[in-house]
Structure 1
Amino acid sequence: MANNRQIETLGVSYLTTFINRHSLLQTYFDSNDKTPVWDGEIHVLKTSSEKRSEIFGKVPVQIKATRQQKNKLKSFSLDISDLELYSKNGGVVLFVVWLSEDGDLRNIYYKSLPPLSIKKLIKKSNLKNKTTSNKKLSVQIHELDEQKLYPMLVDFITNSRKQYSFINVDGISVEDISDDSNLKFYYYGQEKGEIFNYQEENDLFIYYKDPLTGIEVPLENTIKVVETYEETDLIITIGNTIFQNVKRHRFPDGSVQLHFGEGFKMSFDVKKKQFTFNYTRPNMLSKAIKCTQALQELGKFGYCKLNGNTIELDEQSILDITSRDLETEIEELIQISNFMENMGIQKEVDLTYFDKQSLRNLNILNLGLILKKKVALNYNESKLLHLRIANIHIITLYDFETDNIGTMIDIFTETPWCRRGEDSSYISIFEVLEPNDWLKIDNCDFDSVIASYQILVDNQLKYEGANNTILKIVVAADKAEDVSRSELLLNWAQFLSDWNLKYSKNYEMAIINDLQIKSRVRKLNSKEMEILSNILVNSNDNYELCFGSSVLLKSKPQADLFWNKLDNDTKESYKDFPIYTLYMKLS
């Protein structure tokens, strides 16, 4: 009967032969088992070359040989002290060589154990065995074949390198990072669907890219991939509609779906030997129209074409399509689209938010603004209305006439005259809009906003300028969570500020407002800083101008000085101004 040393030697020999059959792998194993923990290493090559530069990495291994009399091996016990040592040194790949009583090879098993896999195993073991002090830990092992070997070793090296520096620090979980964080995971495989089998035997780790350092930090959480997709060059034609953005989705059960048009899913039923279709209307209006029209054609013709090859629908799929009132559905979608086009609204309508109130608002606005008919609303005075259609926000004027009847006025095409009161100065109607209105409005034609101020100048009317409106738009820009919306609002504010610099009655304040817009977009230049310094020097008796100039000059001591000179009422009002936002950021 062979002793333990002979068994280990046989195991190393069988494993060496198995691994060295791969042209990109080289074994450096100790056959006499003198090493206390590690049994050598595997060199993983990029190409079959002897050059050092072609070595992708080295994998430390632990080799165990066993003659256990079982039908199949599922796990193998390792000393926890050994695992802790492996973890601190980059991990290990365990190989278990299963021999017969006669010393013949029965099978080879493996387990990839990068640092965080070991950490997870030990943590799980500690939770299970709180009352006992086990010195060994059972590790699940898996059958090894030639196809698994190289990808598994490459992935081990990748994860080991990325986890090595973080093994002794407190772990970070998915819950600790923001939802918009950049996350990655690494997997080296040959076939598209291999990852589903791979993850049943190996941990998939995710890495968080620190935005400040650019370093990829491993998270303690592991993941399971439930679906993958890939771009294809397939073309699907339904009637006259062509879909080129076809994506192939794969699932753990081996099934495959083709997704196209953001509404269609096509799969093949192997048992029935037929294609099945599933349709969900896209949320975006333009795509919903295109896909619903295509669905109508699909029901009419009963087939589509995949790269020119005809694919016929089964009877049930055709019945499911033709039983829907698609004609009415398309008419309703086109009505929304036509209204948005007539209003000059380019923002895409998200039908997720289209509810009963949206439908009511659509009908009212279409009746009053497009068809130019009188509308009956429950108001007994004229007022600005802020109406929502799905995710589109529209501001319009309701001009009350009598008995809750009035007309709708598009303030961007029929800009009305406004006064603060009798014998008072004229104002643009857009002075009435508050920051939240500017933040949400989607039917804005900003040329009309400029024109509403210019008309005051052209008619030599008494007016004060556009400073208040500019401030409200900048406040809205500061509130905007969407970067593109913030940029749009600042562009609007800048357009109005350009006009304001020509016609404002309070030129110094107009300059400060102009420069606080620019400061949100870029760093102020030396000439602009000089202008602010001159305002500061020449306006000692105007604490508001001095405060604004000091903030934009980023001089906190001076800003504090003039802030403290303002009266309490002015201070309170300034807390709603955008210059105060900049003031609070000074250090």
Structure 2
Amino acid sequence: MATNISNGKLERIAVAAVKAEANKPSSLLIANISEGDKGISFDGEILVFKDHSESVDSLIGKVPVQVKGTLVDSFSQGKRTFPLGLDHYRNYYNSNGVVLFVVEILKTGETKIFYKQLLPKELREIIKCYGEVKNQKQRSVTLRPLSETSLDAVCRRFIHESKKQPPILIENNPFKEDEFTSFELTSLTFDPKRKETSNIFEHDFTLYGIKENLNVPLHLARIHSVSTKLKETVVTDNNEYEFNLKITEEPTKKIFLIEDSLELKYNVNDTKMNFTIRRLDSLATQLKIIPFLIDLVSGKEIYFKNLSFTFGKVTIKEKHLLEELKNLYSMFLKLQKVFQKLNVDEKTKFGDKDGEFDKIVNKINPLVHMILENDYRKLKIKEPDIPKFTNYQIGDIQLIFFYNPESQTKLINAFSRDLLQKDARVVIGDKSYPYSPYVLLNKSALAYGANIDFEVIKESFNQFDPFVSELFPITNDFCLRCINAYDISNNIKLLELAEHIYNKYPVDAPGKNVTSEFIVVTINRLQIKLRKEGRLSDEEYQQLINLRNFSKDNLEAQFCTSVLLESKTEAKLIFQRFEKSRQKFYEGLPIYHLYKKLIE
């Protein structure tokens, strides 16, 4: 390296290079930078104006600067570092920041300018970490080439951001993070419009908390990944697929998550790609992505239209993989036939988490064999000699079947109309009554049964009188089960089912002979309406008041009417009068759900 240039001349050349940038015709800048008698930590300032008049009223602000010249054999490519003493950082901090310029100088006199905007938040972090904690004497900073932007832009961004970072606010932030109404992420150097500054992973960002008109600097950050969601058309030779796509970009790779199920990872440096099915999501999803995977594994070129991105032909070493995917697709096509038999929506979510693919597939295979091939070797059922309703679980999908050990087709859709033709009965004492077989469905099946057909259940209750006195407790218990199931699933059809059944109860005004059954049905009808519509009418509130007045000796009726009348204190006091066993009983009833919401 040549060393025949004095330090003084290096500094003069460096200052002259910065001034030359300030004096460009397009810049609205005046550089007041000393070339000889330098100040402590600062070499001068750059004035920034609104227009070319350079008048007092057009001045936007001043940017403190320090300029360093350094002799090099060749210019640095990309970014470069420069060491500074901690005392300099402290002086910069006390002056609300600085723009540092390091000018590389060849022995020919050619120059290349690098810059670093040092704002109070970053300066405070440097001083605290490396000065106060690690007790270091100096710390290097990373500078970017000025050629990727302009001196005018560097100075304007510095002024804009420095106003948002007064040291007193950094040291005495009066707010907690949950008090801010929104957050803002800004960068002094990131500019997606220019190729040189468009790589978001190479830039520093400041996170601001915003409260009213105040911006509070909270954290310095680097972006490690960026995610975008979009509708995408993917083309493979002559095939086109419409996908919901989430693309996550990281410094060295792109991750494509297709339909929240299939993940493709593309390594930017070596162009390698691998894939995994993270979760099944739904049958509809698999019927879309498995054919696409078959195309991919078959070596077809993959083109993402909106992203203008192409995967080259993929070479798969595992020769058996293509055959496995074809078998997998065949299995899903068979499951599609099963869902059609059961009237299950193909978009129903399996609810599986990452890594549960094999677990779900292992549940699908036996189901397909049982329903389509009458192969029951893997059917596990308690008391296999007794006909009954039984559930089959695939992830979160609950399928309800009727099991008949005497039939060749042992499992049929529990809501097949064939069941309506069967003579279902309940025996009470020495009497037998026709009844709906669906009274055997538990709360979970009602809430989560993917193939449940409410119209079939309603029709089954249309075939008899469900409120014959002996049947009343059974019918009321089933309706309460429907309301409870609604409270965990929010399926409005469950309330409509219970309402349909209660509407079969005689509606004639009871006069003075108000029966306990009438009170129960009235309360339950009204709690159904409260759930459906969010409020009751004045006439219905009056009906509840009349019931309460009539039932002064009925503590349980008093409690239920108080809950529906939203008499919080009264309901609470009455509930406390129940014996512990009765409190426990009521905790399982739907009225208790309304009571808990009332007192919370």
**TM norm. shorter chain > 0.5:** yes
Distance 1:453 1:217, change over 3 A: farther
The 3 A distance-change label for structure 1 pair 324 and 525 is: same
Equivalent position to 1:407, from 410, 415, 432: 410
Q: Give the one of 126, 129, 139 matched to 1:124.
A: 129
- 1:419: which partner in 2? 426
Task: For residue 545 of structure 1, give the secondary structure of its aligned residue in structure 2.
Answer: helix
C-alpha distance in structure 1 between counterparts of 2:342 and 2:92, whole Å: 68
Correspondence for 2:237: 238
Return the alpha-carbon distance in structure 1 between the equivalents of residues 22 and 522 of structure 2: 75
The structural deviation recorded for 1:142 is: 0.8
Structure 1 residue 65: Cα displacement: 2.0
Change (3 A) 1:521 1:196: farther
Task: Find out whether 1:287 has 2:285 as its counterpart.
Answer: yes
* Kept in 1: contact 2:48–2:155 (CA 8 A): no
SS of equivalent to 1:494: helix
Task: Using the TM superposition, name which of 425-434 and 410-419 deviates more.
Answer: 425-434
* Distance change >3 Å, CA 341–CA 109, structure 1 → 2: same
Q: Deviations over 1:394-447 (max 9, x none)?
A: 122323449xx9833433222563526543776644444343333432111122
TM-superposed CA distance for 1:565, in Å, is 3.1
CA distance in 2, matches of 1:141, 1:331: 57
| Shift, 1:143, TM fit | 2.7
Letter in 2 for 1:524: R
Aligned equivalent of 1:338: 337
**Does 2:462 align with 1:454?**
yes
Tell me which residue corresponds to 2:348.
348
SS at structure 2 position matched to 1:436: helix
Letter in 1 for 2:481: K
**Per-residue Cα deviation, 1:532-554 (whole angstroms, up to 9, x for no partner):** 44433343232223222322333
**Residue 563 in structure 1 maps to residue 586 in structure 2:** no
- The 2-side partners of 1:334 and 1:225 are apart by 40
Tell me, yes or no, if the aligned pair for 2:33 and 2:45 is still in contact at 8 Å.
no
Alignment equivalent of 1:96, drawn from 96, 101, 118:
101
Number of residue-to-residue matches in the alignment? 544
* Conserved? CA contact 1:20–1:27, under 8 Å: yes
Partner of residue 524 from structure 1, selected from 535, 554, 573: 535
Residues 493 and 329 from structure 1, CA distance in 2 versus in 1: closer, same or farther, beyond 3 angstroms?
closer
CA distance in 2, matches of 1:157, 1:570: 71
1:248/1:511 CA distance change after superposition, 3 Å: same
Contact 2:541 2:565 in 1 (8 A): yes
The separation in 2 between residues aligned to 1:503 and 1:220, in whole angstroms, is: 65
* CA 354–193 in structure 1, closer or farther in 2 if over 3 Å, else same: farther
Measure how far apart 1:334 and its partner are: 0.6
* 1:548-587 equivalence runs, <5 A: 548-585=560-597, 586=599
* Equivalences for residues 209-224 of structure 1 within 5 A: 220=219, 222-224=221-223
| Per-residue deviation, 1:339 | 0.8
State how far apart, in whole Å, the 2-side matches of 1:555 and 1:37 are. 73
Q: Contact (CA 8 Å) 2:22, 2:30: kept in 1 or not? A: no
Is this contact kept in 2: 1:95–1:108, CA < 8 A?
no
8 Å contact 2:10–2:105 — kept in the other structure?
Answer: no
Cα distance change of structure 1 residues 326 and 429 upon mapping to structure 2, 3 Å threshold: same
Q: Give me the whole-angstrom Cα distance separating, in 2, the residues matched to 1:38 and 1:545.
A: 86
CA drift at 1:495 = 0.7
Judge conservation of contact 1:497–1:510 (CA < 8 Å) in 2: no
Correspondence list, 1:105-504, <5 A: 106-114=111-119, 116-125=121-130, 128-129=133-134, 132=135, 138-148=139-149, 168-169=172-173, 185=185, 189-191=191-193, 197-200=199-202, 202-205=203-206, 220=219, 222-226=221-225, 236-243=235-242, 252-253=251-252, 263=262, 280-281=276-277, 283=280, 284-296=282-294, 316-317=315-316, 320=319, 324-346=323-345, 347-348=347-348, 350=350, 352=357, 353-367=359-373, 377=381, 379-401=384-406, 407-413=410-416, 414-415=419-420, 417-419=424-426, 421-422=428-429, 423=431, 428-457=436-465, 462-464=470-472, 466-479=475-488, 486-487=489-490, 489=491, 491-504=492-505
Q: Equivalent pairs: percent with the same residue?
A: 18
Letter in 1 for 2:562: S
- My pick for the range that moved more, 332-341 or 235-244, is 235-244
| TM-score, scaled relative to structure 1 | 0.70
Tell me if structure 1 keeps the 8 A contact 2:113–2:145. Answer: yes
1:537 pairs with 2:549? yes
**Cα–Cα, structure 1 residues 237 and 113, in superposed 2: closer, same or farther, change >3 Å?**
same
Q: CA RMSD in A?
A: 5.5
Gap change, CA 1:96 and 1:389, over 3 Å in 2? same
Structure 1 residues 494, 226: closer, same or farther in 2, change over 3 A?
Answer: same
Q: Are the aligned partners of 1:384 and 1:396 in contact in 2 as well (CA < 8 Å)? A: yes
The unaligned stretches of length 5 or more in structure 2 are 74-79, 507-516
CA distance in 1, matches of 2:405, 2:447: 27
1-structure distance, mates of 2:478, 2:557: 18
1:204-254 C-alpha deviation (Å, 9 max, x unpaired): 3567899xx99998764734334555859866143444457788775534x
Could you tell me which amino acid in structure 1 is paired with residue 477 of structure 2?
A: N
User: Unaligned 5+ residue runs, structure 1?
Assistant: 480-485
CA distance in 2 between partners of 1:189 and 1:44 (Å): 22
The 8 Å contact of residues 205 and 221 in structure 2, kept in 1 or not, is answered as: yes
Of 572-581 and 219-228, more deviation after overlay is shown by 219-228
Shift of 1:343: 0.9
Q: TM-score, normalised by structure 2?
A: 0.69
